[in-house]
Amino acid sequence: MKIAVVGGGYVGLVTGTCLAGIGHTVTIIEIDPEKVRAINTGKTPIFEPGLEDLLKKNASVRLHAEPGYGAVAGADIVFICVGTPPAADGSADLSFIRSAGMSIGNALKGTEPYCAVVTKSTVPPGTTENVVQPLVLKASGKTLQSIGFVMNPEFLREGRAVEDFMHPDRIVIGSSDRKAGDIVAAAYQPLAAPVIRTGIAAAEMIKYTSNAFLATKISFSNEIGNICKRLGIDVYEVMKGVGLDPRIGPLFLNAGAGFGGSCFPKDVAALTALAKERGEEPLLLAAALAINERQPHRMVALLEEKIGPVSGKRIAVLGLAFKDNTDDIRDSRAIPVIRELLEKGAGIVAFDPMASENMRRIFPEIEYFPSAAGALTGADGCLVMTEWPEFSSLDREFDLMAHKVIIEGRRILSCKEKEGICW
């Protein structure tokens, strides 16, 4: 198929590259000239395992990036993969969605072939039918007989996105009509996965509900971990026993510093705002967010229990990305920790295998090191914020500290002299 992907960010780039990888001809529409240049030369502007190799194989063969919407006119499918950042009240900002809808409609004006316009961005239920569809139809001058509308949410984990795309656990397709849904289902035919066909709003709600439930499991585990900490119980032993119950499952039960990234905080906040707008008070979702906001500050409190006031002390922060295998720092739990430590007068030194340059844009005043050993040298305390696998082998590096006080927000260390945030 000929496919246009609007947006060359994380979701758009992974989606477009993987679709090209399974045999489609893909054009990524991206306004940033640097990203366009990088994609067309086979260089990924983001770090994602396996993505650059796949991009190199397909760039200028089945994959091309350009700033304009010309490729939409001849496309069988147009995927909308633009950002839906949080507004001031936590609701989803749909300005990029609206802009994409109008531009797609203008590009489809006067064209003949049937086209399926697919929302892949995470959007509140009703967005595709009440925002995207009318904008595209009005700008194009067409009817639902010549343009179909689909919601096809992504379930890509950063650090494992290519694997998730190529081996999905499910493909959700919510469509305005059977024809539009069939076209999108056919695009995924090379992938072996159950296909769930729903209405458009239900597909939009599936994505929000999935992320909200996973975020709630994390916050629940963290609250249990906080209780276990008071009782002197290892929460990981508890959750191992709990997770073997098939009604619960073992995933997302690892207690720690909380969830971050581009999805969970934003999507739970957006669903909370949507519920309130419709007259519902989402108590459980609000609690999941509140627990998550408090959790990283417990790291600082525990550190101060061990070393006293942090003012004037050298604190090493290991791990800046919101999770391992990515350079993404969006809503990283290291951010509120660093901010609080700075407010209290601490001197911060930091190391991350991938994310230091991104964090430098937020905190240029702290010192970044190219190794864990460099950051640990002379430190009065250490906070481990990200579960990078290489951190598990750190041992003698901690001997370089002035005071060996090590607190981990992710259970990754194997050294003896450490204490967990809630274990």
With a cut of 90, say whether residue 132 has pLDDT above it. yes
pLDDT tens track for 186-201:
999 999 999 999 999 9
Q: Please state, in angstroms and as integers, the Cα–Cα distance from residue 397 to each residue in 79, 151, 319, 388, 415, following that order.
A: 47, 49, 15, 16, 10
Average pLDDT over residues 405-411: 98
Average pLDDT over residues 395-417: 97
263 annotated active-site: yes
Region for residue 206 given its phi and psi (left: phi exceeds 0; alpha: psi -120 to 50; beta: otherwise): alpha
CB 398 within 8 A of CB 380: no
Average pLDDT of the chain is: 97
pLDDT score of 357: 97
- For residue 303, which amino acid is it? L
Please tell me whether the overall predicted TM-score, pTM, comes out greater than 0.85 for this model: yes
Sequential DSSP letters for 230-256: HHT--HHHHHHHHHTSTTT-STT---S
Cα(first)–Cα(last) distance of the chain, in Å?
52
The confidence band for 44, taking pLDDT boundaries of 50, 70 and 90, is very high
pLDDT score of 176: 86
Contacts of 389 (CB under 8 A, 6+ apart): 324, 412
pLDDT tens track for 223-269:
999 999 999 999 999 999 999 999 999 999 999 999 999 999 999 99
pLDDT score of 62: 97
What structural domains does the chain harbor? 2-198 (3.40.50.720), 233-423 (3.40.50.720)
The C-alpha atoms of residue 332 and residue 321 are separated, in whole angstroms, by 6
The C-alpha atoms of residue 389 and residue 179 are separated, in whole angstroms, by 46
With a cut of 90, say whether residue 343 has pLDDT above it. yes
pLDDT score of 153: 98
pLDDT score of 370: 98
Question: Catalytic pick from 81, 115, 228, 263?
Answer: 263
pLDDT tens track for 172-182:
999 989 999 99
The confidence band for 373, taking pLDDT boundaries of 50, 70 and 90, is very high
The C-alpha atoms of residue 156 and residue 173 are separated, in whole angstroms, by 16
Order of strands across the sheet that contains 314-318: 367-368, 347-351, 314-318, 381-384, 406-408, 419-420
